[in-house]
Amino acid sequence: MTGVRVAGTGLTPFGNAPERTSRDLFAEASSAAFADSGVPREDVEAVFYGNFMGELAEHQGHQGPLMAEAAGVRAPATRYESACASSGMAVRDAVMRVRNGEHDVVLVGGAERMTNLGTAGATEALAIAADELWEVRAGMTFPGAYALMAKAYFDEFGGGREDLAHVAVKNHENALTNEKAQYQKSIEVAEVLDAPTVSSPLGLYDACPLSDGASALVLTSEAYAEEHDIDAPVSITGTGQGGDRMALHDREFLARSPAAREAGEEAYTDAGIDAGDVDVAEVHDCFTIAEVLALEALDLEPVGEGITAARDGRTTADGDTPINLSGGLKAKGHPVGATGASQIAEVSKLLAGTHPNSEHVADATTGVAHNAGGTVASAAVHVLEVAK
């Protein structure tokens, strides 16, 4: 099998842009990725595109070929849907296709248009990532679902709202230098605790925002990068996927994420590393409790101890293992179809030394990106390493 290099990355700003279509957003992100890579569009052999709610937000299905056209590419294109893990799954398939020699150059990414639906409409659209028969009809929303998970965690392991507040404060601080981030402002623990309750014990600052945006990556084989003298210092060396029961009431655990653990273990084994080798990570913090669960599932924190990681400084920018130096979904934003590929872009830039927060991980050689769907019924994990 051949290695897979990240030749170029492109992101739009994440935020409130209800007038922009997904095709417009993806055109911008892919153009930036091509410019960053130096790879000509005509060399792309396939497009892998993640999107979750295009039919609801834009009355648009069959988006693969549409986005290839928007990117200026004439190549077979496929759309991937796995809720908030849509482009993470697209990256996984793209990596495997390059590895097995089927392609030398691929374009992979995702986009989502959400804010045009308004808060109520977007909340309703996002809810279809839950079990329609047993959860959605009963009025379940994702703030409510993650609130149940937070309560279960507190009951089993301890901790409380103030611990979660430190996660939000940390990620907002990390986003200050990220020009693509939706929220570039500091917050204090007291502000988090005083904010309106969304679904107890979670408040407004425990939740990621609704976002519009797109991400794109140009991935190549090692042979192509070397033959064409492409500056691609970071490789994707591990990929993993996990799954769990859809509805929370069918789960064995509420305070753990077996799908993420399964995906992480597969990715670590694939890359030939273990959790102790990870220097930096971007994890799926759609809610503050989700970051805690991700850290434990990836063995970056012992089970039951992830709740204190931000408060005690272990996951801050200058901590032992910085987490979400981009600002995470919490502050950078979460245009759901774009998130997985955007995490890969952030880790790649951190390892390459081109990210505004690279100074905090100057000696880092190994990073992880963790992308989850719904209440983590699906998960994709990727390992990135500085190419040897």
The CA distance from 95 to 193, in Å, is 42
The CA distance from 84 to 129, in Å, is 8
Q: Return the percent helix, strand and coil in the chain, to nearest 5.
A: 45, 20, 35
- Which runs of consecutive H residues, i.e. helices, occur in 158-218? 161-175, 189-194
The CA distance from 333 to 360, in Å, is 21
Measure CA 97 to chain center.
21
The answer to whether the peptide bond before residue 201 is cis (omega within 30 degrees of 0) is: yes
Amino acid identity of residue 156, one-letter, is: E
The CA distance from 102 to 95, in Å, is 10
Dihedrals phi, psi of 336, to nearest 5 degrees: -55, -40
Element (H, E) at 227: helix 222-227
Measure CA 263 to chain center.
14
The CA distance from 277 to 296, in Å, is 15
As a residue count, the chain comes to: 388
Beta bridge partners of 218: 8, 107
Q: Which residues are catalytic?
A: 84, 334
If DSSP codes are grouped into helix, strand and coil, which group holds residue 27? Answer: helix
The CA distance from 347 to 279, in Å, is 10
Structure-token pair, residue 187: 């917050």
Residues 6+ apart with CB under 8 A from 78: 46, 47, 48, 49, 64, 90, 93
